Amino acid sequence: MMPTSLSPSLSMITAAVLIAAPQPPALAQVVVRGKTVHTMAGPAVTDGLVLIRDGKIAFVGPAEGVPIPNGYRVLEAEVVTPGLIDAHTTVGLSGIFNQPQDQDQIERSAPIQPELRAIDAYNTSEALVEWVRGFGVTTIHTGHAPGELISGQTFVVKTAGTTVEEAVVVDAATVSATIGPAALKNKEKDKDKSPGTRGKMMAMLRAEFIKAGEYRRKRESAEEDKKPERDLRMEALSRLLKKELPLMVTANRAQDIASALRLAREFELRLVLDGASESYLLIDEIKAAGIPVIIHPSMYRATGELKNMSFETAAKLRHAGIPVALQSGYESYVPKTRVVLFEAAIAAANGLTWEEALATITIDAARILGVDERVGSLEAGKDGDVALFDGDPFEYTTHCTGVVIEGKVVSDEPH
Amino acid sequence: MVFFASVLAFTLEGASGQSIPQALVGAKLITISGDEIETGTLVVQDGRITAAGPVDAVSIPAGAVRIDCAGKVIMPGLICTHNHVGGIGGADNSGPIQPDVRIFDSLNVRDAGFRRVVAGGLTTVNIMPGSGHLLSGRTIYLKMRRGNTVEDFFIRDADGIVMGGVKMANGTNSLREMKGFPRTRAKSAALVRQEFINAGEYRERLARAGGDLAETPARDVRMETLVDVLEGRKIVHHHTHRQDDIMTVMRLAEEFDFRVVLHHVSEGWKIADQIAEARVPCSIILVESPGGKLEASELAFETGAVLERVGVLVAYHTDDWINDSRLFLRSPALGVRAGMSRAGALKAVTLAGAEMLDLGDRIGSLEPGKDADFVLLSGDPLSVYTKVLQTWVEGERVFDRSDPNDRLYAVGGYGAGDDAEPFTCCIADEGNE
C-alpha cells in the first residue's frame, strides 16, 4: 500500500473512521508529525503525519486535512523515519558490563550447538538495549554471536517490553555459524580440540548436516515406534534442511565466503552472509546464489581476516543488486556495541544514496529478516514503530528526539 | 602548578618543506586560534604557515604556487594525544612498572595503520604503549611526515631532544594475576608511590654528586625516565576511567608534583569541579556505547561538554584501535551532539591536544609561524559526509584522496591491510589541482 498516493478524499474517509472509533486507552495512540516523513514505501512526504492506533499504523500521508482524534499524544519532528532495524547484533545476550554474568552470547562447551535458543538468553532489561533504542532502533536481530562453528540461534525482537514474550517478533530467525579464524581452536589451551583448521571446520559442518539429513528422513518416514528419539540439535539442523530457517554464516575472507556458498549448495540451505568483509571480491557468485548480505560495522578493527574491509562494500553490493543490510555486530570489548544508525551514515557517505542507506536499516533489513509484513516502513497496517529526529538522522550532530514502539513513546529525550 | 612550559618554536624538521611558497586560496579557514574565515587564503613556505586570513587581506607572494580550494574547508591537522598504531609492543609481562621501555623501539612505520592515520587527517600523534601496566613505558610524539624510519617522524624540542611522554594507568587494566603486579587499587597506588620515592632519592643523589663521578650513582634508565617526569620534562599520560581512580591520579600528581594529562576520563563528568580545581587537562575518549568493561560502563557522550563548562582543557583522542583514526572527526561531532560548543569540540582535536603534548606554540592552529600542518576537507568537519581530501605536514602533502594508493587506505579494500610501500624518493608535489 502506498500511503502517499491516498487521495485527499480517501484521507478524509480514513480520518472520519478514526474519529468514530471508541476512545482508546491513552497508551498506544500517537500521532507523529514530521516536516519530512521517510515512509520507505514511496517518496518522502513533506509535512507528513503518521497516525498510530492500538499499536498499528492507521494512516500515513500528508498532514493537511487530517484531524487529530481526541486523546492522541502528538509528537513533532523535523525528520521522521520508520523505527530502525539492526540486522545483526548480540545486545540483550551480551551486556554492558562484559562480566561473566552478562555475557550469554557464546557458549564455549562445544563447537556445534544449534539448539541454543536466543529467546532463552535475551535480557529485555539490558542497558545496551535501551542505549541503542535511544538512537531510534526499535527492532533488533540478536542472538548467539559469531565465534563457534555453530553457536546457536538468533531471533528478532523489539527493543521494548518487560518480558521477552511481549517483545519477540520472530522466536527463531536464523542459526548462526562462523566459517573463519574466529571458530578455530588454534590457541595453546585448545590445541587438542577441533576444528583446528579450515578443512576440519568444513568437514565437521558437512558431517553434522549429513547426520541431520538422516535424522530428518527417519523422523519423517519411520513408523511411529521406530522414529528416532527427539534430539534438539538434530531438530534445529532439520529446520535448516527444510528451509524453515536460514543459516547465517559469519565469514569475512573471500575463501571463507566461498566455503559458505559451497556448503549451502551441497545441502540446499537458505543462506544469509554476515560480516563478509571481502564480499566485494565475490559479487557475481553471491548474486548468482541469490544470497543477502549483512555487512560488518565500518569500525571493526581492520586487521586479521578484516584487514581488507572497505567502507564501500555496502554500495558495491547494493549497486550490483545484492540485498544488503547493516548491523552493529558483536563487540568483545570497548565499545560494547556499535550503533547501526552510525553504520548507515558511513554507508551514505561512501557510495550509497541517502535513501539506500536508510533502507539498509529499515525496509531492506526487514525483508532480509523476513519481518517486512510488520516493520521496516511506515505503511498502514504495520507496527507503529517510528523514530524522530531534529535534522538529517545520519549527521552526528543531529539528535534522535523520540522513539515510538507499537504506539508507545519509549523515548522522548534527545539522544 | 603551571601546566604548560613554553617551548621555543624551533623545529629541526620544519626546514624540510618546500621553499617555493604555496597559496591555498578560497577555502573556508577554521583557524582554531580565531574566528572561522568564510573565504580565506593560507600561505605556506619552508614548512611553516606564513599567512592565514581572508582572501582580500592576504597578498600572495610572487612566485607562489596557487592552489584553488574554493568550496573546501581547511583546518589545522588533527592531533591525537593517544594512539596505538604501528604494531606496537611496549612493556612486557615482567613487571608492572617499566620506565625503561621506549615505544619507538617497537614501531613499524610501514604499518597500514600509519596510512590510515594520515587518511583521517591526523598530522601529529602520541603513540603510546598499552594500559596493562601501572607504567608501560615512554611514549613518542610523531609528525606524520613521509618517512622510512621512525626517526623520520620524530619531533624534537629546542634542545634537540626527542619529545614524548610517559604512559601510566590505573583502574582494572593494570590489575593482573601475575608476579609483581597489583591485585587491588591501593596496591597499585603504593607501588607507584614507592617508585616515585625511589626516583626522588636517585635525583637527590645525582644532585648531591654535583658532577663528581665518584659520587654519581650508576646510570639507571628507569630512574632517568622518572626523574624526567619529576622535573617536568616529560608529561605523564595517565589512563584512568572511574571517578575514584581519577582522584587517585590527581592525588599522586600533587604529592610528587608531576605534570599529568588524564586520558579516557570516562567518569570525569562526575568530578568535573575537582578536575577543574586541580587544573588538570583531560584527553577523553568517546565511543558509541558505554561498557565493555566495568569502569567504562558510565562513559557518557556528555563528558566533553561538562568538562568544557567548568573550564577544563579538553581534547579528544582516537585510542586507535579503539576508534579508527579515519573516523576521528566523529568524536568532536558527537561531543557537539551532547552539548559541547563547536569551537571547543574542534579545538579538542587540534590545539588542545597540541598543548597537552607541549606543542601548543608549534602546531594546532592556522597561525603564521606555526608548522604548515593542515587538512583540506570537502565540507564541514563535523559532517559525516565530509571527506579528508588532503593532509599536509610541514608544507608537504602526505595524503591525497585523489591518488588511488592513498584512497585505498582511506576507504579500505583489497590490500588496504598490508604494510605500505616504503617512500623511496622525495616525491614532488606535481599536479597541483
Q: Tens digit of pLDDT for each residue in B191-210?
A: 999 999 999 999 999 999 99
Q: Is A22 at the interface with chain B, CB within 8 A?
A: no
Nearest C-alpha in B relative to A352: B385
Residue B428's pLDDT band (cuts 50, 70, 90):
very low
Q: Which domains does chain A have, with CATH numbers?
A: 3-82+380-411 (2.30.40.10), 84-369 (3.20.20.140)
Contact check, Cβ <8 Å, B293/A307: no
**Position A3 pLDDT exceeds 90:** no
Q: Is A95 at the interface with chain B, CB within 8 A?
A: yes
Is the Cβ–Cβ distance between A297 and A277 less than 8 Å?
no
The pLDDT value recorded for residue B359 is 98
Q: Is B7 at the interface with chain A, CB within 8 A?
A: no
The pLDDT value recorded for residue B423 is 63
Please write the tens of the pLDDT for every residue from A116-158. 999 999 999 999 999 999 999 999 999 999 999 999 999 999 9
The pLDDT value recorded for residue A335 is 94
Residue A225's pLDDT band (cuts 50, 70, 90):
confident
Is the Cβ–Cβ distance between A364 and A373 less than 8 Å?
no
Q: Which residues of A touch B411 (CB under 8 A)?
A: 310-312, 350
Nearest C-alpha in B relative to A328: B288
Q: Which site among B88, B288, B295, B317 would you substitute to test the A interface, given the most A Cβ atoms closer than 10 Å to its Cβ?
A: B288
- List, in order, residues 6 or more apart from B62 with CB less than 8 Å away: none
**C-alpha distance from residue A96 to each of A176, A199, A411, B29, B203 (Å):** 22, 36, 20, 41, 45
The minimum CA-CA distance between B108 and chain A, rounded to whole Å, is 15
- What cell was used for B389? 581530501
Q: Which site among B384, B414, B418 would you substitute to test the A interface, given the most A Cβ atoms closer than 10 Å to its Cβ?
A: B384
Q: Is B288 at the interface with chain A, CB within 8 A?
A: yes
Is the Cβ–Cβ distance between B124 and B359 less than 8 Å?
yes
Is the pLDDT higher at B12 or at B148?
A: B148
Q: Is B338 at the interface with chain A, CB within 8 A?
A: no
**Position B9 pLDDT exceeds 50:** no
**Position B152 pLDDT exceeds 50:** yes
What is the residue-wise DSSP string for A209-250?
Answer: HHHHHHHHHHHHHS-GGGSPPP-HHHHHHHHHHTTSS-EEEE
Across the interface, which of B288, B337, B417 has its CB nearest the CB of A308?
A: B417
Report the DSSP beta bridge partners of residue A62: A48
Is the Cβ–Cβ distance between B116 and B326 less than 8 Å?
yes
Please write the tens of the pLDDT for every residue from B247-298. 999 999 999 999 999 999 999 999 999 999 999 999 999 999 999 999 999 9
Please write the tens of the pLDDT for every residue from A45-73. 999 999 999 999 999 999 999 999 999 99
Nearest C-alpha in A relative to B408: A310
- What cell was used for B175? 590489575
The pLDDT value recorded for residue B374 is 98
The pLDDT value recorded for residue A259 is 98
The pLDDT value recorded for residue A372 is 98
- What cell was used for A150? 555453530
Please write the tens of the pLDDT for every residue from B74-132. 999 999 999 999 999 999 999 999 999 999 999 999 999 999 999 999 999 999 999 99
Q: What is the dihedral of CA B190, B194, B197, B202, to 10 degrees?
A: -160
Contact check, Cβ <8 Å, A128/B112: no
Q: Coil, helix or strand for B98? A: coil
Selection from B310, B381, B393 nearest residue B72 by Cα: B381
CA B259, CA B280: separation in Å to the nearest integer? 8
**Position B7 pLDDT exceeds 60:** no
Contact check, Cβ <8 Å, A309/B334: no
Q: Coil, helix or strand for B150? A: helix
Q: Residue B275, class by beta-carbon neighbours within 10 Å (0-12 exposed, 13-18 middle, 19+ buried)?
A: buried
Nearest C-alpha in A relative to B322: A334
Report the DSSP beta bridge partners of residue A156: A141, A170
Is the Cβ–Cβ distance between B356 and B362 less than 8 Å?
no
The pLDDT value recorded for residue B424 is 54
What's the whole-number mean pLDDT along residues A387-392? Answer: 98
Euclidean distance between the first and the last CA atom of chain B, given in angstroms as a whole number: 49
Contacts 24+ apart (CB under 8 A), B410-414: B410/B116, B410/B119, B410/B326, B411/A310, B411/A311, B411/A312, B411/A350, B412/A302, B412/A308, B412/A309, B412/A310, B412/A311, B412/A312, B413/A280, B413/A308, B413/A310, B413/A312, B414/A278, B414/A280, B414/A281, B414/A308
Query: How does the average pLDDT of chain B come out, rounded?
Result: 93
The pLDDT value recorded for residue B419 is 86
Q: Which residues of A touch B384 (CB under 8 A)?
A: 342, 345-346, 348-349, 394-396
- List, in order, residues 6 or more apart from B165 with CB less than 8 Å away: B126, B128, B138, B139, B141, B234, B235, B236, B237, B261, B357
Q: Which residues of B touch A298 (CB under 8 A)?
A: 327
State how beta strands A271-275 and A247-251 pair: parallel
The pLDDT value recorded for residue B128 is 97
Residue A224's pLDDT band (cuts 50, 70, 90):
confident
Across the interface, which of B291, B293, B384 has its CB nearest the CB of A395?
A: B384
Please write the tens of the pLDDT for every residue from A251-278. 999 999 999 999 999 999 999 999 999 9
User: Which positions 160-199 of B are in contact with A (Cβ < 8 Å)?
Assistant: none
SS3 content of chain A, % helix, strand, coil (to 5): 30, 25, 45
Handedness of CA A355, A361, A363, A367 (dihedral sign): positive
Residue B420's pLDDT band (cuts 50, 70, 90):
confident
The minimum CA-CA distance between A331 and chain B, rounded to whole Å, is 8
Phi and psi angles of residue B238, each rounded to the nearest 5 degrees, phi first: -110, 110
Please write the tens of the pLDDT for every residue from A154-205. 999 999 999 999 999 999 999 999 999 999 998 888 889 999 999 999 999 9
User: Which positions 78-137 of B are in contact with A (Cβ < 8 Å)?
Assistant: 112, 116
Task: State the DSSP H helix or E strand holding residue B27, giving kind and residue range, or none if neither.
Answer: strand B22-29
CA B129, CA B109: separation in Å to the nearest integer? 15
Q: Is B297 at the interface with chain A, CB within 8 A?
A: yes
Q: What is the dihedral of CA A210, A215, A217, A221, to 10 degrees?
A: 170
Q: Residue A413, class by beta-carbon neighbours within 10 Å (0-12 exposed, 13-18 middle, 19+ buried)?
A: exposed
Residue B400's pLDDT band (cuts 50, 70, 90):
very high
State how beta strands B48-54 and A400-405 pair: unpaired
CA B319, CA B126: separation in Å to the nearest integer? 10
Q: Which domains does chain B have, with CATH numbers?
A: 77-364 (3.20.20.140)
Q: Coil, helix or strand for A282? A: coil
The pLDDT value recorded for residue A65 is 92
Share of chain B above pLDDT 70, in %: 93
